[in-house]
C-alpha cells in the first residue's frame, strides 16, 4: 500500500499552482460539510451513512500516519459539527437546499482552481483522490504554518515546488 508521502505526491502532481491550492482550502471543506449533511440519514440504530464515511476515512488516515490521522480527526470533527447545523434546519427542503448549494459551491471552487492549474482534478485518474483531497488541504495548511517540513520537502521533490 502507498505511504502518506506517496499519496500526497501523486495528488500534488495535479496541484502545483498556489491559486488552485487556495481554492481547495475553501472548496474541499465545503464539499465535506455538504457530504456529511447529505449522508446524515439513519441506516440502523442511530448509525448514519456519515458515521460510516467518517469511520472508514479516519481509519485510512490513521493507517497512513498517526499525526495526520489526528489532524484529520480535528478537520472531520469540525466539518461534522458544521454539517449538523445544516441537518438541524427547520425543514427538509431547507436542509436539502442548503446542503446541495454548499456542495455545488465547493465543486465550483474546485473547478476554478483547476482552471488556474490547467489540469484535471486528481480523482479523475484515481478515485482515492477523493479521500486524499482533504488530507492534502490539511497538509498544505500545516506547511503554511511552518509544520511538517520533512513531508513538504518529500512532496516538492516528488511533484515539484508550488508556484
| Domain layout of the chain by residue ranges | 20-157
Question: Is 123 in contact with 90 (CB distance < 8 Å)?
Answer: no
Question: Is 136 in contact with 11 (CB distance < 8 Å)?
Answer: yes
Low-confidence ranges of the chain (pLDDT < 50): none
Phi/psi at 43 (5° precision): -95, -50
Helix (H) or strand (E) holding 160: none
Residues paired with 83 in a beta bridge: none
- pLDDT score of 158: 97
- pLDDT score of 120: 87
- pLDDT score of 127: 84
Amino acid at each position: 500500500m502507498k505511504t502518506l508521502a506517496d499519496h500526497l505526491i501523486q495528488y500534488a502532481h495535479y496541484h502545483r499552482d498556489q491559486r488552485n491550492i487556495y481554492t481547495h482550502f475553501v472548496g474541499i471543506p465545503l464539499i465535506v460539510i455538504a457530504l456529511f449533511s447529505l449522508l446524515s440519514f439513519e441506516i440502523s440504530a442511530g448509525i448514519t451513512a456519515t458515521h460510516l464515511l467518517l469511520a472508514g476515512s479516519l481509519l485510512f488516515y490513521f493507517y497512513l500516519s498517526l499525526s495526520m490521522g489526528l489532524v484529520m480527526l480535528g478537520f472531520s470533527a469540525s466539518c461534522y459539527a458544521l454539517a449538523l447545523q445544516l441537518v438541524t434546519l427547520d425543514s427538509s427542503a431547507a436542509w436539502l437546499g442548503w446542503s446541495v448549494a454548499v456542495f455545488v459551491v465547493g465543486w465550483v471552487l474546485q473547478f476554478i482552481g483547476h482552471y488556474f492549474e490547467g489540469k484535471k482534478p486528481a480523482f479523475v485518474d484515481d478515485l482515492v483522490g477523493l479521500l486524499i483531497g482533504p488530507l492534502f488541504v490539511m497538509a498544505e495548511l500545516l506547511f503554511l504554518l511552518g509544520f511538517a517540513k520533512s513531508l513538504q520537502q518529500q512532496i516538492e521533490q516528488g511533484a515539484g515546488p508550488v508556484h
